[in-house]
Structure formats: C-alpha cells, structure tokens
C-alpha cells in the first residue's frame, strides 16, 4: 500500500505514526501538487494523506487509520470494549475539532512573519484555552498512565508538535504551563519510538517546507 503524504503534515504524520507502531510497511510518496486537477484524481478534496490500497484511494487521516487498524489488527491500537473505544474516540476527535482551528492562525503567522506580535498573542491565548480543555479531559477520562499507543495517541502527537512549537517560535512561551496532565501525557508520548520518529520527520519536513518557500 502507498501513502501519499507530506512529512510536516500533522494529518499525514499521524498515519505514519500508526503504521510505525503497528509495524505496517507502507510506501511513502509525496503529492505532485495539491489542489491541482492531477492530484484531485487521487483525492477530490485535494488534501493529504491519501492511502492507495491497490483497489481504492482512501482520503481522510482518521478513515485511513481505521482502515489500517481493520486490515492489520495486531498489535491492537483500538480498545475492544465499547466504553474504552468511545473514550479513546474523545481524544481522537479533539485535535481536529478543537485544536486545528486555533493552530491554523499560528501556522499562518509563522508563514507570514510580517504580521504583528499582537496577532500571535491572541492566537496563543486561544490555543492555550483549548489545551487546558484537553487537560481537563485527561483528568476526567485518564490518558497520562497509558501503557500502549492507541489511535488517539497517534492522532494527537503531531498536533502537539505544532501546539508546542508554534507558540515557542512566535514568542508565546510554554504552551503546557497550565496543562500539567497533558504535559505528563506529552512526555510519555515523546518517549515512544514511533512518536520520536515521526516528530523528527515533521521537524525536518517543516524546515524543508519553509526553506522551499
Ligand atoms: N481532514 C483531513 C485534513 C487533511 C489536510 O488538511 N491536509 C492538509 C495538509 S496538513 C492539506 O493537504 N492541505 C492542502 C490544501 O488544503 O490545499 C484529514 O484528516 O486527512
């Protein structure tokens, strides 16, 4: 199977992290151009990642992760019991629904450094509010004392890369200062081999992406 992806994309990185955690071999290829008519043949949404299964071109990172989990169920990265799975899904959804909208303005500021520090400060406040909510979710549902990576860890880790990196680059300080449980989970996640690998790839990918602009 082939994953059309970009190293610095958090959506693509979560799929790679899951593949590394499961030991699934994928061929990794870069898109020739997003939003182009050519790329739309792979994904009408014009976005990465896309998984080419050989018989289907699957868009949407969480759809792809679920598919990989279905076709390679071992080692299991999704709880079997309905309650455990539902709780994991809370954390699986959180980055896309609550973190991405507040990260995007910061990413745009990084790409357009002529913008004012005031814009960055406001965006960092908005991001920190979401990280504190995530911290409260961890307090309620647990996640700090995990023993094995699951789909939600893979989905969250690449977003935490940006949630910690962007405020630091834009002068916003420590994003996790008021989120101690999230900070504990983040320490644990970074100690996991698949996370460390994907975080290095993202860092290198982002550097290359910025240099190429
Ligand atoms: N909901 C999608 C989001 C994917 C996404 O936004 N990918 C970005 C890269 S991080 C992209 O391909 N953007 C290209 C564009 O929008 O032109 C998923 O989960 O896969």
Distance 12 CA to ligand 1 centre (A): 8
Q: Which residues of 142-167 are buried (b: 16+ CB within 10 A; e: fewer)?
A: ebeeeeebbbbbbbbbbbbbbbbbbb
Instruction: State whether the beta carbon of 61 lies less than 6 angstroms from ligand 1.
Output: yes
Q: Rounded distance, CA 116 to CA 121, Å?
A: 9
Encode pLDDT of 57-75 as tens digits: 999 999 999 999 999 999 9
Q: What backbone phi and psi angles, to 5 degrees, belong to 5? A: -155, 170
Q: Summarize the confidence of residues 167-193 as an average pLDDT.
A: 93
* pLDDT above 80: residue 113: no
Q: Rounded distance, CA 92 to CA 133, Å?
A: 14
Q: Rounded distance, CA 62 to CA 49, Å?
A: 10
Instruction: State whether the beta carbon of 9 lies less than 6 angstroms from ligand 1.
Output: yes
Among protein residues, the one with the nearest Cα to ligand 1's atom 9 is 9
Of 94-98, 112-116, 169-173, which gets the smallest average pLDDT?
Answer: 112-116
pLDDT at residue number 118: 66
Encode pLDDT of 145-175 as tens digits: 788 999 999 999 999 999 999 999 988 788 8
Atom of ligand 1 nearest to the CA of 9: 10
Instruction: State whether the beta carbon of 46 lies less than 6 angstroms from ligand 1.
Output: yes
Q: What is the rounded radius of gyration, in angstroms, for the C-alpha atoms of the chain?
A: 17
Among protein residues, the one with the nearest Cα to ligand 1's atom 6 is 47
Among protein residues, the one with the nearest Cα to ligand 1's atom 15 is 47
Atom of ligand 1 nearest to the CA of 10: 10
Which CATH number applies to 82-212? 1.20.1050.10
* Ordered DSSP codes for the chain: -EEE--TT-HHHHHHHHHHHHHT---EEE--S-TTSHHHHTT-TT--S-EEE-SS-EEESHHHHHHHHHHH--SS--S-SSHHHHHHHHHHHHHIIIIIHHHHHHHHHHHH-TTS-HHHHHHHHHHHHHHHHHHHHHHHHH--TT--S--HHHHHHHHHHHHHHHHHHHTT---TTTT-HHHHHHHHHHHTSHHHHHHHHHHHHHHHHHHHH-
pLDDT at residue number 9: 98
Q: Is 27 exposed, middle or buried (0-12, 13-18, 19+ CB in 10 A)?
A: exposed
Domain segments of the chain as ranges:
2-71, 82-212
Distance 45 CA to ligand 1 centre (A): 8
CATH topology of domain 2-71: Glutaredoxin (3.40.30)
Q: Summarize the confidence of residues 41-48 as an average pLDDT.
A: 94
pLDDT at residue number 68: 98
% of the chain with per-residue pLDDT over 90 = 85
Distance 40 CA to ligand 1 centre (A): 13
* pLDDT above 70: residue 116: no
Among protein residues, the one with the nearest Cα to ligand 1's atom 18 is 60
**Half-sphere exposure (Cβ direction) of 41: Cα atoms closer than 13 Å:** 5
Distance 48 CA to ligand 1 centre (A): 5
Best of 14, 15, 48, 162 to mutate for ligand 1, by most ligand atoms within 8 A of CB? 48
């Amino acid at each position: 199977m082939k994953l059309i992806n970009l190293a610095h994309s958090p959506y693509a990185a979560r799929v790679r992290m899951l593949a590394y955690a499961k030991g699934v071999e994928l061929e990794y290829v870069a898109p020739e151009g997003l939003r182009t008519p050519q790329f739309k043949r792979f994904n009408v949404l014009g976005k990465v990642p896309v998984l080419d299964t050989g018989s289907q071109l699957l868009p949407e990172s969480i759809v792809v992760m679920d598919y990989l989990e279905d076709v390679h169920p071992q080692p299991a990265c999704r709880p079997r019991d309905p309650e455990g799975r539902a709780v994991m899904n809370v954390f699986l959804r959180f980055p896309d629904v609550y973190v991405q909208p507040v990260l995007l303005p910061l990413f745009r500021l990084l790409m357009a450094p002529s913008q004012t520090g005031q814009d960055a400060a406001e965006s960092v406040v908005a991001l920190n509010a979401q990280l504190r909510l995530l911290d409260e979710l961890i307090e309620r549902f647990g996640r700090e004392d995990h023993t094995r990576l699951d789909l939600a860890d893979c989905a969250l880790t690449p977003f935490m890369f940006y949630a910690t990196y962007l405020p630091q680059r834009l002068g916003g300080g420590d994003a996790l200062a008021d989120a101690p449980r999230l900070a504990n989970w983040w320490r644990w996640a970074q100690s996991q081999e698949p996370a460390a690998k994907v975080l290095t790839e993202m860092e290198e990918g982002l550097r290359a992406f910025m240099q190429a602009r």
